[in-house]
Amino acid sequence: MLSRQGWTRGVLLLLLATLAACGGGGGGNAAPAPSLKAWGTAALIETASGGNAESPQVAFDASGNALAVWSKSDGTRYNIWVNRYTAGTGWGTAQLIEANAGDAWLAEVAIDTSGHALAVWCQSDGTRYNLWANRFQ
């Protein structure tokens, strides 16, 4: 069994070898440092009256556009909402994407490389939960 000092040396050697293999480690031909990223200003993406927004999910396409989906109570039942983010423009207006009578939960969203999206969720019909979907094209 390795001592703590031996383990630490082994990890350090592994890190140095990995750094050297990646072009780092002080060589003269290292790649330029990546540009620094920073958080922007937070944006409110849903403003519908009623209860709390819950269980958000988000998906991005290759162009940096996104769709966010979530559940939100209107005081009577839970509904599924979506908002679209357009790269270079920002967030749009939240939209209700289902109009059924029962509570809707557990929304998920996916986007393909062309910007087409599919949202799926579970929704009660009063007896059981069914799987529903809506497409963005």
Task: Mean pLDDT check: name the lowest of 16-25, 27-36, 79-88.
Answer: 16-25
In a domain, 15, yes or no: no
In a domain, 9, yes or no: no
pTM for this prediction: 0.71
Task: Mean pLDDT check: name the lowest of 6-10, 13-17, 64-68, 76-80.
Answer: 13-17
Q: What's the pLDDT tens digit per position in 39-87?
A: 989 999 998 787 889 999 999 999 999 999 999 998 889 999 999 999 9
In a domain, 90, yes or no: yes
In a domain, 108, yes or no: yes
In a domain, 109, yes or no: yes
How is residue 62 annotated by DSSP? T
In a domain, 6, yes or no: no
Domain hosting 123: range is 53-136
Q: How many structural domains is the chain composed of?
A: 1
In a domain, 28, yes or no: no
Long-range pairs, 48-56, Cβ under 8 A, ≥24: 48/72, 48/74, 48/81, 48/94, 48/96, 49/74, 50/74, 50/75, 51/75, 53/81, 54/78, 55/105, 55/106, 55/107
